[in-house]
Amino acid sequence: MKIAIWEHPARPGVKRAYINNLPFVPKGEKVFLQPRGKGVQLVAPDVGIHEEISETLRSYGLLTEDQSIEQIPFEALENWAQANPVKAGRPAGKATRGSAANLAKRAPARTQAGTRHQEADNLDLTTIPVPDPVTIRIDYREPDELFELLDGLSNVTVERRELALGDIEIQGQNTQYVIERKCCTNGESRTDFEASVVDDTKRLFFQSEKMRLAEGVVPIILLEGCAHEHSRGMLVQAIDGMLSYLITIQRLSVLTTYSLKHTAYFLLKLAAHDRSGLGYEPPLRAKKPRAQADQLTFVLEGLPGVSANLARRLADQFGSLAGLVAASDSDLLAVPGMGPKRIEQIKRVIHGDA
């Protein structure tokens, strides 16, 4: 999914958020959201796809389970579009005024590899939904800016204290996340990560071991910046060796961020997800087909041991879910690919364990 923001050149305040790359929208049809009151209005060629559009927006975190499309603030769409810019296209033929070529010049370029730092710097922590209270503890030796980025946000309690383990502590619902932050940004001397590996103290080895042995915590090593790019003494293979050691031997999660602001954004998202979940139930399967015959195959493919080909054969043989339920064992065995064990598994799903 891509969102492109359009503004009327002569009428300030007239805006649209075009939703592109939706597989269930016919080619050439336009779907967009426009401001209406405190929310938005959906304009789509087919009312029947409104629910599919809602599911798509939920899957990208723009809509919570208890929200309707009309309740989305248009600013949320603008922020999402800014963080996920659309790549400008290259039209064929000579460009004319108002053509795709001229529009492309005004459109923001899609982020390319190596240019995500600006995108990370533009992250807005206030766009992260925090329905339930979260607590984030930061060691007093960490930068003041990290505390300031998180302080004052709704439903977020930030505490500064001396931590016995790690640099940041997030009190989760059923567990505790302990995060050791290692700065890897460019500077005149070794990065914090590099120094913690090669200096005489070898402190990262001891820190990771303490985190590994701690009970009831999820230990995380967070590398802020590029450990490989900004190393002044460690070879690439030495850095890889250390990261591999942390993951395989110490059993720690190793994550990366671009900057301190990106770190704060990640910490808040982690805390919010632990406390409140994603805010929606992600679909377990791909988008549902629209044709009735394909819908039956889609449903049958969800049964245990039923492949796409077998689902198609069952659909062709019985014609409906009711037909499959009413089929006898001998009828089912007549379908290529069906055996006694698979029939038993399917019946357990349809009829329960009884």
In CATH, what number is assigned to the domain containing residue 335? 1.10.150.20
- Name every residue whose Cβ is closer than 8 Å to that of residue 287 and which is 6 or more positions away in sequence: 23, 24, 52
Out of 245, 276, 307, a domain closes at: 276
Same-domain status, 198 and 334? no
Q: What is the CA 334 to chain-centroid distance, rounded? A: 44
- Beta carbons of 181 and 137 less than 8 angstroms apart: no
- Closest Cα partner for 223 from 200, 206, 242? 242
What pLDDT does 107 receive? 41
What is the C-alpha to C-alpha distance for residues 134 and 130, in angstroms, rounded to an integer? Answer: 8
Kindly tell me the number of DSSP H helices and DSSP E strands found in the chain: 14, 10
Percent of the residues in the chain that have a pLDDT greater than 90, as a whole number: 44
Residue 103 inside a domain? The answer is: no
Using 50, 70 and 90 to split pLDDT, how confident is the model at 102? very low
308-325 pLDDT per residue, tens: 889 999 999 999 999 999
Q: Between residues 108 and 325, which one has the greater pLDDT?
A: 325
Which position has the higher pLDDT, 273 or 88? 273
Question: What's the pLDDT score for residue 25?
Answer: 79
Looking at the whole model, is its pTM more than 0.75? Answer: no
Number of domains in the chain: 3
Query: Does residue 106 surpass a pLDDT of 50?
Result: no
Evaluate whether residue 322 is within a structural domain.
yes
Residue that finishes a domain, picked among 88, 112, 137:
88
Instruction: Look at residue 118 and tell me if it is in a domain.
Output: no
Alpha helices in the chain (DSSP H): 50-59, 74-83, 100-106, 116-121, 144-150, 192-198, 203-213, 236-244, 260-276, 292-301, 308-318, 321-326, 329-333, 340-351
Name the percent of the chain lying above pLDDT 70: 88
Q: Judge whether residue 100 has pLDDT over 50.
A: no
Q: Are residues 210 and 296 in the same domain?
A: no
Residue 221, pLDDT above cutoff 90 = yes
Instruction: Determine the structural domain holding residue 12 and report its residue range.
Output: 2-88
Mean pLDDT of all residues belonging to the chain? 85
Mean pLDDT of 284-296: 75
Residue type, 160: R
pLDDT per residue as tens digits for the range 141-167: 999 999 999 999 999 999 999 999 999
